[in-house]
Amino acid sequence: MKRLISVTCFVFFLLVCAAPAFSAEGERIRIGVMGFESKADGVSQRQAEIITDILTRQLASSRSIAVHERQQIALIGEEIRMGMSGLVDINTAVEVGRIAGVRYMLMGSVTELSQRASGAVIPLLCSLGIGTGSQEARATIDIRVVDTATSEITLALSETGLSSRSATAVSFYGVTFAETEFGGLEARAIEDATNRIAHQIRVVLGGETSHVISISPGGVIIDIGSSMGAQEGSLYLVYEDGRSILGMDGQIIDREKIPLAVIKITEVSGSTSTATVAPPSEIGMIRRGDKIEPITSAKARTTKFATSRAPASSRTFEELFGDGAGSESGAGSPAPAAGAPAQAGERREIPGFDPDTSTDATVIGTYNIDASTRNMLTIRHRGAANAFSNQKYDEAYALFSEMANEISGHYLAAYWAGVAAQRLGNLDESLEWMEKALAMNPNYQPAKDFKENTLNK
């Protein structure tokens, strides 16, 4: 009985103290990370936990994601009599996440960690030879990210990291004296895999993007440093956004990526890195503001790159991001009727959540639309919210108003378009957006409060 009371009090304390999962005003998304499982021969549970810490460290550098203290997650697991090494069930992960007050729970496993060596000895004299060899390490990591509000898997990734090193040694009477040690290859492969996983999590959940920030004849500087997993020798794809990809209902579900070049990091600092372009002749394809993402050498070899790009001033906003009405030029997809509800019929219920009083992305989870559209809206909302929190109000206004015009009944986007317009000093437009939000959802209290307390003063 005392044990039950203790657990109940502990859970109540965490629920009272837990912060909201996300607010577009600048509060970061809260995510909990559970200890990875080992599903690879020769990898101990302790080693799997070290890999968990590597990924956690890379996520902790995010501008939009706050990683919940893993020791507290483990403590909750102990309080509900579940060892963290056994928490692989989604329902249990959701329970732990809700108690901890986080929006997402990350579960992972190590499915491969191996090394392979190759080489031979070239004889020179009867007892002397030159040995050549190489060694490669591979690490494969699988992760799933579960939304604690809906119990749905938001993201599932599997990445294989590679690390290799060649060495030349001298062999004398069968004894090899290595000039270069092979140690640390596994750690490098792990870092390679977790770096790409962390990048995708920051993009999908946080709406973050990384960019080229400077270009010179000697190379480029990017806004990714050691704090975000950059290492000397790492490869990154430089690309620009192309045309929108539309679903069958005419809504934007993704963007084309136009590969421009591959860069290789040569020098790393805390928040930036310097890189060379491979080949150097492709540096003319790169501009300040181009996006970047980690890429494997195998993927780089098979990628087809653009041979030219339009002048910076010749591509319109509509060509890059759609016409603002849910269709591309010539696509023939009409915009939804203004004011029609985004959800067909009753909205989806999220236990303990009231969409009429919230201003965060959880509201999108209550729209009764298909899961892929909800996920894409959430990703786009994160990007707009990130711009807002960085005081880029003009960018945030463009993104929120675009979504509100594309998706009929998307009152959350209309509300934030109004807030961004007010920050830009456009009070008449702000009032119009609040009226639109209330036309879509007459019970939406944040729009009522904003009109009364901010616009009608």
- The DSSP code sequence of 294-332 is E--HHHHHHPPPPS----TTTS-HHHHH--SSS--TTT-
Per-residue pLDDT band at 9 (split at 50, 70, 90):
very low
Q: Say if 169 falls within a structural domain.
A: yes
CB atoms within 10 A of CB 246: 17
Question: Which of 150, 181, 206 is the last residue before a domain boundary?
Answer: 206
Task: Name which of 400, 444, 406 is nearest 423 in CA terms.
Answer: 400
Q: Say if 335 falls within a structural domain.
A: no
Provide the whole-model pTM: 0.61
* Shared domain check, 91 and 15: yes
pLDDT, average across residues 223-246: 82
* Shared domain check, 371 and 228: no
Give the tens place of pLDDT for each residue, 244-260: 666 665 555 567 888 99
pLDDT, average across residues 195-205: 87
Mean pLDDT rounded to a whole number for the chain = 75
Per-residue pLDDT band at 276 (split at 50, 70, 90):
very high
39 vs 110: CA distance, rounded Å: 6
Q: Say if 342 falls within a structural domain.
A: no
Confidence (pLDDT) at 412:
93
* Shared domain check, 193 and 83: yes
* CATH code: domain of residue 315: 2.40.10.410
* Shared domain check, 237 and 124: no
Would the pLDDT of 267 be above 80?
yes
Would the pLDDT of 21 be above 60?
no
* CATH code: domain of residue 127: 3.40.50.10610
- Alpha carbon 7 to chain centroid, angstroms: 34
Q: In terms of DSSP bridges, do strands 128-147 and 175-178 run parallel, antiparallel, or are they unpaired?
A: unpaired
* Shared domain check, 126 and 179: yes
Query: In the structure encoding, which two tokens stand for residue 56, read together?
Result: 């956690």
* Shared domain check, 71 and 11: yes
Its domain, for residue 55, covers 2-206
Q: Say if 389 falls within a structural domain.
A: yes
Confidence (pLDDT) at 231:
81
Q: Say if 340 falls within a structural domain.
A: no
pLDDT, average across residues 211-230: 86
* CATH code: domain of residue 385: 1.25.40.10
* Shared domain check, 367 and 313: no
* Shared domain check, 293 and 396: no
* Shared domain check, 83 and 68: yes
339 vs 159: CA distance, rounded Å: 43
DSSP tally for the chain: helices H, then strands E = 12, 13
Q: Say if 257 falls within a structural domain.
A: yes
Query: In the structure encoding, which two tokens stand for residue 117, read together?
Result: 């060596």
- As for how many domains the chain has, the answer is 3
Q: Which residue has the higher pLDDT, 242 or 79?
A: 242
* Shared domain check, 140 and 12: yes
Give the tens place of pLDDT for each residue, 87-140: 457 888 888 888 888 889 998 998 988 887 665 555 544 555 555 556 788 889
* Shared domain check, 196 and 89: yes
* Shared domain check, 390 and 283: no
Q: Say if 337 falls within a structural domain.
A: no
Give the tens place of pLDDT for each residue, 44-62: 888 888 888 888 888 887 8
Question: Which of 298, 321, 344 is the last residue before a domain boundary?
Answer: 321
412 CB-near residues (< 8 Å, 6+ apart): 359, 361, 363, 364, 381, 437
Q: Say if 345 falls within a structural domain.
A: no
89 with 80: CB under 8 angstroms? no
Question: Which of 188, 206, 224 is the last residue before a domain boundary?
Answer: 206
Would the pLDDT of 313 be above 80?
no
